Amino acid sequence: MASKLRDLKWLLVVTAIGLAGCGGNPEPGAVAERSDARLQVATTVAPLTSIVANIGGDRVKITGIVPEGVNSHTFEPKPSAAELLSSVDVLFVNGLGLEEPTKQLAEENLRDGAETVELGTRSIPESEYVYDFSFPREGGKPNPHLWTDPRYARKYARIVRDELSGRDPDNARYYAANFDRFSAMIDQLDSSMRASFATIPPDKRKLLTYHDAYAYFGRNYGWEIVGAIQVSDFEDPSPKEVARLIDQVRSEDVAAVFGSEVFPSPVLEQIGKETGVRYVDVLRDDDLPGEVGDERHSWAGLMHFDYVTMTEAVGGDASALKAFKPRNVVPDRAEYPQ
């Protein structure tokens, strides 16, 4: 009997050691395994990736699909994206017709229980859609660039918070706290934007851009969108359309014409030369400034860069905006394809 008790005690000790090895000081491989247990999230364009990263932080693995510096409207994801999409819990897209090839690939590859969440589509009712130069009503697709207006970026972040919390309730308080910090930062940015824009006479707040990414921003902050060079088929406008824009720039006394940092526009440069209006070719709509890991490489950094640039180009005082420091509310650990 004593011998059997000794054997039983030895079995218990061995079992306890084995359990400690599983849950006490794990091997590196075990840490990686637990890391893989985080929510797996895919995103499309970089501003959305940044917003999701500010809410998800280190509790979520986030992988972007659309490289920065490409035309997101026509981007075709690589076949390797199918493997990524087959492993994620949720795909965040903008919607409103922006990433149709990626959405189609997701429909073919998302596993059971995974979902595509259209942040833009869920943030605005159809009655508030904007149809314009690059996105005419007859084309059936509204302007999708909601994220250049901070009020919609807040809506995106709120949807991300709710989606992540629903799928990972153990970390719901963490996501909520990150959203609160992100929302407070948006309030600061909004105040600095309005203070800087107030230094610009209303008749100078006019935008002629390469691509109309600022329609919702303009409606919210009192800027008039005079026109966009890139037409609905994403080709250059006809000579007749260029002549009309030149006449419009002259008649409306436009202070500057704005090109894209990613897509140089000889047409806009021509308009600037023929009208004697300053040509500013550095605006971005979904290509984040700075290097990955920098505070400027963020949705807030993108807004800050564009609106300082606009304010100064038309003769305003950007001091209030410059005083705002763009940042992430938590370290951005997302993967951004380049």
The pLDDT of residue 210: 85
Give the count of beta carbons closer than 10 Å to the beta carbon of residue 168.
17
DSSP 117-130: EETTTTTS-GGG--
The order of strands in the sheet holding 278-283 is 224-228, 206-209, 256-260, 278-283
**Rounded-to-integer distance, Cα 303 and Cα 292, Å:** 16
What's the pLDDT score for residue 315?
Answer: 96
**pLDDT score at 189:** 98
Could you give the CA distance from residue 280 to residue 62 in angstroms, rounded to a whole number?
34
Looking up tokens 């107030």 gives 198
pTM over 0.75: yes
**The dihedral sign for the CA sequence 18, 21, 23, 28:** negative
* 45 in Cβ contact with 69 (< 8 Å): no
**Residue 227, beta-bridge partner list:** 208
Give dist(CA 132, CA 145) in Å, integer. 12
Pairing of strands 206-209, 224-228: parallel
CB 50 within 8 A of CB 178: no
Rounded to the nearest angstrom, the gap between the alpha carbon of residue 288 and the centroid of all alpha carbons in its chain is 9
Per the CB < 8 A criterion, the answer to whether 206 and 254 are in contact is yes
- 3-state secondary structure (DSSP) of residue 81: helix
- pLDDT tens string, the chain, 338 residues long: the values are 444 444 444 344 334 334 344 433 333 333 334 346 899 999 999 999 999 999 999 999 999 999 998 888 889 998 889 999 999 999 999 999 999 999 999 999 999 999 999 999 999 999 999 998 888 899 899 999 999 999 999 999 999 999 999 999 999 999 999 999 999 999 999 999 999 999 999 999 999 988 889 999 999 999 999 888 765 555 677 788 888 889 989 988 999 999 888 777 888 888 899 999 999 999 998 999 999 989 999 999 999 999 999 999 999 999 999 999 999 999 999 999 98
